[in-house]
Amino acid sequence: MKPFLIRLARIYFRLGAVFGGLGILSYAWGAATQSDCRDFVLSFMLLPYAVFGAAVRTVLWLPSLIHWWSPSWVHWWFASPEPTFLQWLLPGLFMTCGTS
């Protein structure tokens, strides 16, 4: 039983690391492609945030995915908008910088 649980934990953390890595890439891509995000200080400060978010997502990706998949009453209860799956997977592509 113990080798099975170890294997299951490794799979869980590997999937979380993949999702976290995709999050870092999405933040880097979002900062590089938006004209308002090209400020060096903003890009420099965004990367530690993305790395910290990737570390958190590595551990908490399944509860986050369950919250995303939950019915709309849960989103109403917590007053959060209903994001699409792509917004959950690659949050950096949907960021906005500056004012419009």
Instruction: State which H helix or E strand residue 82 sits in.
Output: none
**pLDDT tens column, 8-24:** 999 999 999 898 888 88
The CA distance from 98 to 72, in Å, is 30
59-87 confidence digits (pLDDT tens): 888 888 877 776 655 555 666 566 777 88
Quote the CA–CA distance of 31 and 39 in Å, as a whole number: 9
The model's pTM is 0.73
